[in-house]
Amino acid sequence: MSETRHDWTTAEIMAIYNKPLMELLYEAATIHREHHDPNTVQVSTLLSIKTGGCPEDCGYCPQAARYHTDIETNDLMKVSHVKAQALRAKASGSSRVCMGAAWRNVKDGPEFDQVLEMVRTINKLDMEVCCTLGMLTENQAKRLAEAGLYAYNHNLDTSEDYYKDVISTRAFEDRLQTIDNVRKSNVTVCSGGIIGMGERLEDRAGMLVALTSLNPQPESVPINALVAVEGTPMAEIEPVAIWDMIRMVATTRIVLPETQVRLSAGRTEMSREGQAMCFFAGANSIFAGDKLLTTPNPDVNEDMEMFKLLGLNPQKPFVKVAQPTTTEAADSELVPLGEKPKWTRPGHTIARNETAKQDAKLTE
């Protein structure tokens, strides 16, 4: 059984990333099956509740006010509109709604109160609620938790070394502080990054070092491929190769065995075959819907067709995917004799039931 480690080094992770592809995939898929149901994928819908006008200078983001992009800016959505979108997402198979606002940081006041009401509203729909609102304080995190927030997204984006080449208006340490503030509440953490921004392989590994060093580690790690947008500093960067995404997903799965690895931005450039390899390598969460905040995304009907083709099932809300690893928990999973077992960790529960059947025969 693979163990959770918090002491990975950049060199170790680079060695994993650079393994022969078939070997890398086999190792990642094996670890994935030790901790997760390989045929279940968590589906989230990302909703931009406040678009554009952000004072930050993230080089990849078309919502920065200083860049000349074609996005349409919008003020904060009404709660009724958010509820309608959430109901539509639920009907399409999503178990989580993630609301994003183009803010540098959360400010107490009427707008934050409105976001809290959105969280309460979606929570009543029996859906997980996630927010990505920029930096927030410990008190704001606790208020979100009290409203029913399930997860907070705050990506590290890249390694600490490369971070300053991507963003100058917010420090890497600021991001870690926000994650720490979230951890002081009962809200789960969603934090990952983007590849294809001109970073070195060492930076991809460095980002994973930072994520694995967190204790506890994030419950969800989005792996995004840069979607180059005209008007941003990264507009001319070529799309990252699918093989890089597959390697990044597989490596993330190996070093973060219990985390949900989210196949995020950039899926419009991926074939179904490429996405299938990412799922095989350990991705078990996606964003659905035709737009991720401001960038394109596959239509939800296309995703459901792909799920059907691959035999994948959408995960229900509030389900912890990681399987029990203790002997006591494993014993509680034993399937009664004569019943067909549900999915279990290979070589564990089923094997134990086979042993029980053999023992029963010996006593007949």
Select which of 96, 98, 267, 278 is catalytic.
98
The catalytic position among 61, 204, 247, 253 is 61
Domain 10-314: homologous superfamily in CATH: Aldolase class I (3.20.20.70)
Question: Residues 322-357: pLDDT tens digits?
Answer: 453 433 333 333 333 333 333 333 333 333 333 333
**Strands 291-292 vs 295-296: parallel, antiparallel or unpaired:** antiparallel
**CATH 3.20.20.70 domain range(s) in the chain:** 10-314
Average the pLDDT over each of 47-51, 271-275, 320-324 and give the range with the smallest value.
320-324
- Half-sphere CA count of 22, side-chain side, radius 13 A: 0
> Residue 118 class from Cβ within 10 Å (0-12 exposed, 13-18 middle, 19+ buried)?
buried
Q: Which of 54, 143, 175, 183 is catalytic?
A: 54
pLDDT at residue 274 greater than cutoff 90: yes
pLDDT recorded at residue 96:
93
Confidence category of residue 296, pLDDT binned at 50, 70, 90: low
Query: Between 265 and 340, whose confidence is greater?
Result: 265
Of the listed ranges 89-93, 118-122, 137-141, 147-151, the least confidently predicted one is: 89-93
Residue pair 267/234 in contact by the 8 Å Cβ criterion: no
Closest alpha carbon to 60 in 162, 161, 135, 212: 162
pLDDT attached to residue 68: 67
Contact 329, 345 (CB under 8 A): no
Cβ-Cβ contacts under 8 Å for 124 (sequence gap 6 or more): none
Q: Which pLDDT value is given to residue 335?
A: 34
Average pLDDT, the chain: 84
Q: Does residue 54 have an active-site annotation?
A: yes
Among candidate residues 170, 175, 183, 262, the one labeled active-site is: 262
The residue annotated as part of the active site, out of 96, 143, 183, 190, is 190
Identity at 147, one-letter amino acid code: A
The winner for highest mean pLDDT among 73-82, 87-96, 212-221 is 212-221
Percent of the chain with pLDDT over 70: 84
Active-site residue flag, 131: no
- Residue 278 annotated as catalytic: no
pLDDT value at residue 359: 40
Active-site residue, 58 included: yes
Q: For position 297, what pLDDT does the model report? A: 59
Q: Is 98 a catalytic residue?
A: yes
pLDDT tens string 212-261 = 999 999 999 999 999 878 888 888 888 899 999 999 999 999 999 999 99
Let me know if 272 is a catalytic residue: no
